[in-house]
A and B are shown apart, each in its own frame.
Chain A
Amino acid sequence: MPDIPGASRVEISRDEVAHLADLARIDLSDAELDALAPQLSVILESIASISEVAADDIPPTSHALPLTNVFREDVVVPCLTAEQALSGAPAKEQQRFAVPRILGDEQ
């Protein structure tokens, strides 16, 4: 195996999964963490070969058909009304999205 992080020991620990879930803002249960860690290790093992494939001089592709400078005319076009934009909101107030508090106790 090549000397890159992760691939030399394609194993992802339960703690790592918990950290990733935290980054992804998902409250995983203990049972989910137990199940996910080995599954992700297997998946990673099957894709780790990728690190050996492409040489440094190969340019990356982000989109298959590259398009540049896609502009439109600077004209007003119809858009959603405030009522439409709010129509799926879990909570709303005074024509705005109503959300839980956004600051923590320590702030």
Chain B
Amino acid sequence: MGDLIRRSAADLADALAAGETTSVELTRVHLDRIAEVDGAVHAFLHIDTEGALAQAAASDARRAAGQLASPLDGVPIAVKDVLATDGLPTTCGSKILEGWIPPYDAEVVARLKAAGLPILGKTNMDEFAMGSSTEHSAYGPTHNPWDLDRIPGGSGGGSAAAVASFQAPLAIGTDTGGSIRQPGAVTGTVGVKPTYGGVSRYGLVAMANSLDQAGPVTRTVLDSALLHEVIGGHDAKDSTSIDQPLPALVDAARRGAAGDLTGVRIGVVKELTGEGYQSGVQQRFDEAVQLLVGAGATVVEVSCPNFVHALAAYYLIMPSEASSNLARFDAMRYGLRVLPEGIESPSAEDVMRATRDRGFGDEVKRRIILGTYALSSGYYDAYYGQAQKVRTLISRDFDTAFYSADVLVSPTAPTTAFRIGEKLDDPVAMYLNDIATIPANLAGVPGLSVPAGLADEDGLPVGFQVLAPAMADDRLYRVGAALEALLEKQWGGPLLDRAPTLEVAR
């Protein structure tokens, strides 16, 4: 059974098809694994044993009847706790939503259910997805399976750690500034942020609407493509959803895995390498680029001069949108309600103020205040207005770069996983983790992170980022799968084979 949990989702789908296992068995071995290791990792906030096993039994019945719902029918999955799940708690890592049980499914969740993937549970995250380390969860941090004293990235550290520690073969994440890709990088897993509008945001609790995007969190590039095809595509319930068919993602991943990149032009973004990047990160990145050259790709250096302003633009746009989005937590319709002390017959506003003080954590308060500041009269043009203009400049940089390159590449994150607590009191240092991932969110283009190896100085995973033009997500999969195949040939197996064995609780 130990073997089953280490296999890719694609392999598990084949095993199910060959009758080597059942969905109930697969679901059960993963639930057992969660019981064994999640005490130490803390990837999950809620586990749905009964629901997952019922969905698995239904999948096995469909298979017996020859009526499969999708290629991943029967393969279990974990879902980030920012997506509404009918009948299952959804907290967004916040005390303000403790115990909230949504009366509906997010579209992504509805598609997972329709495709027959049993949902194991909900994964931990920085509160309302605000963070790069999962330390801002109101329910305690998630630990990196490579070193339990280190962060698993964020905000989707729970999803990445669940997949990296073999507690789930697949997971869903969301990426506003890097929350899928950066956790992927620091846990040695694969994460994809689709083109903005490529996956429905209906039922995704919004942090910054114009940046948020849900996507796959997996151990292999092919698994991400398979999952992306399940959750992606037009949804009339999301007015920003792209009303066009997805490109052929799984085909692109299979083609890439053959290892031939002849004719593919790869652009190394000058502004996203060098200074500020850990030496082991830069080294693994440079070697990966050489491997791609060996596979037939041509490499050009591209300059995106406005990327240096991306972090500043992001830290104005995101808090501005977040501060207005989080106004919905008013203690009236759902979530926490706290009565202020010492006030007889408090007003609705008194209750709102007391509730928001008690229910929100430090980072959420910081961003709400920052957003309120950026949007207040007198500052609006100087900050929010300027940030929106910079957004235009960043999109133009991408347009220019994609004129001379089919994909752009960079390290996913400037460093490997840092220690829990190390950057907690230094917000600006924490924000710098997303320096390479943020431009894609601002421009809406898709991005993927694939493991590039371990940094020499600390033996921790390094991520390689691939960016493609909007709606050309297939290019991510082709290049990502090619690099994955070439590296695994060098390594003699997946990078996660080198992760330390977690102690198993009995």
Question: Are B197's CB and A65's CB within 8 A?
Answer: yes
Question: Are A46's CB and B312's CB within 8 A?
Answer: yes
Please give the number of chain A residues whose Cβ is less than 8 angstroms from any Cβ of chain B in the complex. 58
What's the Cα separation between A49 and B387 when bound, in Å? 10
Kindly identify which residue among A47, A87, A100 contacts B348, using a CB–CB cutoff of 8 Å: A100
Q: Is A80 an interface residue (CB 8 A)?
A: yes
Question: Are A50's CB and B428's CB within 8 A?
Answer: no
Question: Are B368's CB and A6's CB within 8 A?
Answer: no
Q: What chain A residues lie within 8 Å of B444 (beta carbons)?
A: 63-65
Q: A63-B240, A64-B444, A65-B242 are in contact. Are A51 and B386 (CB under 8 A)?
A: yes
Kindly identify which residue among A5, A28, A46, A62 contacts B428, using a CB–CB cutoff of 8 Å: A46
Q: What chain B residues lie within 8 Å of A27 (beta carbons)?
A: 340, 353-354, 356-357
- Interface residues of B, dominant DSSP: helix
Question: Are A64's CB and B196's CB within 8 A?
Answer: yes
Nearest to B443 among chain A residues (CB) is A64
Selected interface stretch from B273-281, B376-384, B455-463, B489-497: B376-384
Classify chain B's interface size. 35 or more
Question: Are A100's CB and B387's CB within 8 A?
Answer: no
Question: Are A88's CB and B210's CB within 8 A?
Answer: no
Question: Are B392's CB and A60's CB within 8 A?
Answer: yes
Within 8 A of B (CB), among A58-100: 58-65, 67, 70, 72, 80, 84-85, 87-91, 97, 99-100
Q: A26-B360, A50-B390, A100-B348 are in contact. Are A5 and B379 (CB under 8 A)?
A: yes
Q: Is B413 an interface residue (CB 8 A)?
A: no
Shortest A104–chain B CB gap in Å is: 6
Q: What chain B residues lie within 8 Å of A102 (beta carbons)?
A: 347-349
What's the Cα separation between A54 and B79 when bound, in Å? 39
Q: What chain B residues lie within 8 Å of A100 (beta carbons)?
A: 345-348, 350-351
What's the Cα separation between A2 and B130 when bound, in Å? 30
Q: A54-B393, A62-B210, A97-B333 are in contact. Are A88 and B356 (CB under 8 A)?
A: no
What's the Cα separation between A90 and B162 when bound, in Å? 33
Kindly identify which residue among B197, B335, B369 contacts A36, using a CB–CB cutoff of 8 Å: B369
Q: A5-B378, A50-B390, A101-B348 are in contact. List 16 more A-B contacts (CB 8 A).
A: A16-B373, A24-B327, A29-B357, A47-B315, A50-B387, A54-B389, A58-B392, A58-B393, A60-B389, A61-B392, A63-B444, A70-B240, A80-B104, A90-B335, A100-B346, A101-B345
A sample of 11 cross-chain residue pairs with beta-carbon separation below 8 angstroms, ordered by A number, consists of: A20-B372, A26-B365, A27-B340, A36-B365, A40-B369, A42-B427, A64-B210, A67-B240, A88-B335, A100-B345, A100-B348
